[in-house]
Amino acid sequence: MSNATASSTTDPGTDTTNVADRDKARRWREGGSEPLLRVRDLRVTFQRQGAEPFEAVQGVSFDVHPGQTVGLVGESGCGKSVTSLAIMGLLPERGNKVSGTVDYEGTNLLELSDQQMRDKRGKDIAMVFQDPLSSLNPVIPIGLQVTEVLERHRGMSRKAATPVARELLDRVGIPDPDRRLRDYPHQLSGGMRQRALIAIALACQPRLLIADEPTTALDVTIQAQILALLKELVEETGTALVMITHDLGVVAGLCDEVNVLYGGRIVERGDRHDLFAQPRHPYTNGLLASIPRMDAPRGQRLVPIPGSVSDNLPWTSACAFAPRCSQPIEVCTQKMPELEEHHQRALRCFNPVEVSR
Amino acid sequence: MLRFIVRRLVQMVGVLVVLSLLLFLWLRSLPGGTVSAILGERATPQSRAAMEAQFGLDQPIWVQYGKFVGRVLQGDFGPSTSVLPGTDALTIFFQRLPATIELSFFAMLIAIALGIPLGYFAARRRASLLDNASVIFSLVGIAIPVFFLAFLLKYVFAIKLGWLPVSGRQSGDVDATRVTGFFVIDGLITREFDASWDALKHLVLPSIALASIPFAVIFRITRASVLDVLDEDYIRTAESKGLTNRVIRGRHILRNAMLPVTTTIGLQIGALLAGAVLTERVFSFGGLGEALALSFERRDYPVLQVLILAAAAIYVLVNLLVDIMYAVIDPRVRTR
Amino acid sequence: MTPSPMDPRPNAKKDRIDSLAQTAGGSGATATAVKDVHVGAAGKVKDTGGVSLIASAWSRLRRNPVFLIGAAITVVFVLLALFAPLIAPHDASKRLPQLLENLTPGNIPGPMSGSPLGSDEFGRDLLSRLIVGARQTLIVGVFATLFGLTGGIALGTLAGAFGGWVDSLVMRVVDVMLSVPSLLLAVSIAALAPKPSQWTVIIAIATVQVPIFARLLRGSMLAQRGSDHVLAARALGVKQSSIVFRHMLPNSLGPVIVQSTLVLATSIIDAAALSFLGLGNPDDRQPEWGQMLGAAQGLIQDYPHLAFYPAACIIVVALGFTLMGESLREALDPKSRR
């Protein structure tokens, strides 16, 4: 726990490089293992009656290897949550179009029937949501909300599942689990509820866990605890984790690889340490510059990113970020930059930030 | 939980006390008052004074109220003046109660059995043909005057087509033994199944007419409430667990959506007597509703007192039951 | 964790303030509508009230067929009511010689030239009575709703503005009123009148609406009491009366106004029920649909059309107001903005 607290309050950019971590990341990328999840050219378009179709996700591709923790970072509306819901098959039935491929161990999830997807959800792929109070059913006890997953996917009886549920609650650090099994969500504290949600998600030992802003709705002190718990659990069980967040502090403490999204597209990708040490995209750079740093000289001002998402240009004919960029050049408003891979990094920018060292 | 019930009971007693006061004042202000109602055109100043003294109407108003409450608590409302002249008003009430309970039961059965499933499926397939059709159907149910619907059903199915009996609770040629006053149950108890069947046929049209409003209201609340629940995060969580449709529907959607529906059903049961006044009148059904309509028309104040007080008491009691029921199904109320 | 520029919360807050401002603007319009209602004549009320409400949610409503159908019915009905004497072919209160000729105890004449729907049971022109009936029906509906609304706003404001014991007292009274099924309450009040008339019917129906409006208004006023802009006004030292009348009341009126559209429909239906129970207006020179329907009940077996025509009018008009009210409610409900 103290470990996580430290990583989220100390500066993420300072060189606390853990050599073992870095080696692990390289191994994944250099083809040591097949990716567990391979997302290719994922597009999600929302169509509403009487409104222009809106493409929330515009061709996102990334890999998640077994046991790896991958971050999807960006501000509200960048398409990160829609991406996760599309992977889970949880987008509303009507009013949207999903294309591309989402390969999970070689099966394209987007082609599965509703029933086949139901068999995967909660068993192979699980999800933790943002607001733990509204994400738990208010009128049934916590215990049943845990055991129903075990009953569904492991074919256990209610009776057999109860001790397992008790153990799960204990494992995620909920004190007095016997009592909590009978409690209702409103009787638990915010942190406790999020722990319960994590217990539910991990009940069937999924190979992939998607966490959508799991700490945003929590108190600052609780946030660190929950992050530490998540980190501990995924390391212990070898579960791969896709972490969706707007908070670079969360990423710094947790993720092996980071994808930065802007306007529905990935603009930069890299190993956590490389990315924090040497951001190349002006957006990533701006995000880092707007975080207060403990080691910054006294009196140095924080630099916010000017403007908002509503200033975006369409990606089809420009760089969407150009109007807010600190260093735009002429070409930025004329055509779209492609995502180019080099040296285990990927970057979508005509005029990247200079390498300082 | 117990404290909650006790608190609600105390509140209920308060409401009843205020109601009795209002009822008393209401009876006193009815045009002509009790005396002229009884004496009618024959009233002379002497007979009027004599009767006022007999009823204690010459005493101060609070004494009269005290006596009124005393009589109400003893169940002494006096004899009926015109609905069934001479018969004790409370006796009339108990004679007619089973008919109205029977009718209300079948009406609510129809309303719930139709309203909740239709509301659920309309919400699940929002803006579909089924949704639009059932929404319009329910709005027509609200817009059509109950007594006219009763007339319409009677005209088409009883008079023109002759499929069902025109009025009453039992055909004249059926000789049934009375046990409980619930005709359908009586037939089952005494094994006079034809009498049961006959009573059921008499119930069809009135219950449909009476069900129209509760059906429309229950349908609309169910639909709105399921739509609300479908938007909740915990439904997404349930989906993310890969639960079967059956479990999601029963345990997650309906269990939550039923909370407001329960309240509505309670309110509708309480309000059923109002609809019964109209429906029973059209079908000469012989229940409390018909008695109420007749006692208003014929100014039978003793019967009116019993019925109005009973209607309010039933309404208040049903609401109490609904609150308790709500606490049972919503842990947030129960464990507060 | 430190606030980052990507933190969604500041945005959410702004959205909330925006929507607050929006609702305030919207109900500002409705508040003016209420003023018009009090001042204006019965006939004009619908127009002003309707237009201001439509203006605030117009973009969504104008494409909504349900609303358009409801509004069309309402407009036709109001126009019919306004110009009834001009449209009606005959005087609705006069027995026509040509109809009387054929009127015998065993026969009520049907359609004939000059009288497309035939006669009523007293030899008066049925079509003319239906047309004039629109006006009386509108008067009953509008005044019953207006009186109910006024009473409900008074009680609801009292309860919602002060809270505490005033609230408890008012709400107990409202609870007692609600503890009698609405039609029974209306019937009981109508029975108090020594001589039933159109106004006893109106007052009986209006009384029933008072607790409903009061509850509704109190609910939304209480929500307002805890809201940020009222707290802000209080913190700035704005006078209590001004907080209540400038900030809380106008913002709480939206649901009440929508409810009154629906109440208009039930008023018309309830008036018919009172007539059916013999507590309606006995003076039938200026007919009202509910009254016509009530009067036709004895003849339904042989002359069903005498009941069906006024009933159909009531159903269509009640449906019109209901469709309009429901779609207004949906359009003004922030939850349905998806």
Delimit the domains of chain C by residue range. Answer: 70-103+115-336
Using DSSP's 3-state secondary structure scheme, residue A63 falls into strand
Using DSSP's 3-state secondary structure scheme, residue B300 falls into coil
- What's phi and psi for A128, nearest 5 deg? -120, 135
A37-46, strands of its sheet edge to edge = A54-64, A37-46, A96-104, A107-108
pLDDT digits (tens, 9 = 90+) for A108-157: 998 888 899 899 898 899 999 888 888 999 888 999 999 999 999 988 88
Q: Residue B11 class from Cβ within 10 Å (0-12 exposed, 13-18 middle, 19+ buried)?
A: middle
pLDDT digits (tens, 9 = 90+) for A334-354: 888 888 887 778 888 888 888
Task: Determine the residue of chain B that is closest to A137 in CA distance.
Answer: B234
- Contact between C313 and C141 under an 8 Å Cβ cutoff? The reply is no
- Contact between A340 and A347 under an 8 Å Cβ cutoff? The reply is yes
- Give me the CATH topology for the region C70-103+115-336: MetI-like fold (1.10.3720)
Q: What confidence score (pLDDT) does residue B122 get?
A: 92
For chain A, the domains span 277-347
CA gyration radius, chain B? 24
pLDDT digits (tens, 9 = 90+) for A53-110: 888 888 899 999 888 899 999 888 788 889 999 999 888 877 888 999 999 988 899 8
A198 and B CB contact within 8 Å: no
**Residues 138-177 in B contacting C (C-alpha not used; CB under 8 Å):** 139-140, 142-148, 151-152, 155, 159
User: What is the DSSP annotation of C254-318?
Assistant: HHHHHHHHHHHHHHHHHHHHHHHTT-S----SS--HHHHHHHHGGGTTT-HHHHHHHHHHHHHHH
In angstroms, how far apart are the furthest CA atoms of chain A?
A: 67
Q: Which of A212, A246, A276, A288 to mutate to test the interface with C (most CBs of C within 10 A)?
A: A246
Using DSSP's 3-state secondary structure scheme, residue A68 falls into coil
Q: Is the ipTM here above 0.90?
A: no
Q: Which of B146, B148, B166, B316 to mutate to test the interface with C (most CBs of C within 10 A)?
A: B148
**Cβ–Cβ below 8 Å for A249 and C8:** no
CA–CA separation, B37 and B43 (whole Å): 10
CA–CA separation, A15 and A273 (whole Å): 8
Amino acid at B247: V
pLDDT digits (tens, 9 = 90+) for C88-130: 777 767 776 776 666 666 677 667 666 777 777 777 777 888 8
pLDDT digits (tens, 9 = 90+) for B214-270: 999 999 889 989 988 988 889 999 999 988 888 999 889 998 888 888 888 887 887
What pTM, to 2 d.p., does this model score? 0.80
User: Which chain B residues contact residue C203 at CB under 8 A?
Assistant: none
- What's phi and psi for A141, nearest 5 deg? -65, 155
Amino acid at A226: I
**Cβ–Cβ below 8 Å for A139 and B247:** no
pLDDT band at B321 (very low <50, low <70, confident <90, very high): confident
**Cβ–Cβ below 8 Å for A304 and C5:** yes
CA–CA separation, B38 and B28 (whole Å): 14
CA–CA separation, A162 and A177 (whole Å): 11
**Cβ–Cβ below 8 Å for C278 and B297:** yes
- Contact between A262 and A339 under an 8 Å Cβ cutoff? The reply is no
Q: Nearest-CA distance from A39 to chain C in Å?
A: 25
Q: Per mean pLDDT, which range of A128-137, A158-167, C4-13, C242-251 is the poorest? A: C4-13
Using DSSP's 3-state secondary structure scheme, residue A44 falls into strand
CA–CA separation, B89 and B75 (whole Å): 9
User: Which chain C residues contact residue A304 at CB under 8 A?
Assistant: 5
DSSP H/E element including A209: strand A208-212
pLDDT digits (tens, 9 = 90+) for C35-73: 333 333 333 333 334 444 445 567 677 777 888 888 899
DSSP H/E element including A261: strand A257-262
Written in H, E and C, the secondary structure of B138-196 is HHHHHHCCHHHHHHHHHHHHHHHCCCCCCCCCCCCCCCCCCCCCCHHHHHHHCCCHHHH
Length of chain B: 336
Which residue in the set B238, B240, B329 is minimally distant from A126, CB to CB? B240
Question: Where is pLDDT greater, at C68 or B177?
Answer: C68
Q: Which residue, C97, C286, C221, B241, is CA-closest to A124?
A: B241
Residue C283 clears pLDDT 90, i.e. is over it: no
For residue C286, how many other CB atoms are within 10 A of its CB?
17
Q: Nearest-CA distance from C35 to chain B in Å?
A: 29
Q: Which of B131, B236, B241 to mutate to test the interface with A (most CBs of A within 10 A)?
A: B241
User: Which chain A residues contact residue C2 at CB under 8 A?
Assistant: 249, 291-292
For residue A151, how many other CB atoms are within 10 A of its CB?
17
CA–CA separation, B318 and A188 (whole Å): 33
Q: What confidence score (pLDDT) does residue A208 get?
A: 92
CA–CA separation, C323 and C318 (whole Å): 9
CA gyration radius, chain C? 24
CA–CA separation, B295 and B304 (whole Å): 6
Question: Which residues does A40 contact at the CB level (< 8 Å), separation at least 6?
Answer: A61, A100, A101, A102, A103
- What's phi and psi for A46, nearest 5 deg? -95, 130
Which residue in the set A140, A152, A186 is minimally distant from B241, CB to CB? A152
User: Which chain C residues contact residue A286 at CB under 8 A?
Assistant: 5
Summary count for chain B: helices (H), strands (E): 15, 0
Q: Given the structure tokens 């215990």, which residue do they identify?
A: A143
Amino acid at A39: V
Which residue in the set B31, B281, B319 is minimally distant from C194, CB to CB? B31
Task: Determine the residue of chain B that is closest to A129 in CA distance.
Answer: B237
Q: Which whole number is the average pLDDT over B3-16?
A: 80
User: Which chain A residues contact residue C1 at CB under 8 A?
Assistant: 8-9, 220, 223, 247, 249-250
> Which domains are assigned to chain B?
2-73 (no CATH), 93-177+204-335 (1.10.3720.10)
- Contact between B95 and B194 under an 8 Å Cβ cutoff? The reply is no
Q: Six-digit token pair at A215?
A: 């700490």
Q: Which whole number is the average pLDDT over B324-330?
A: 78
Amino acid at B266: G
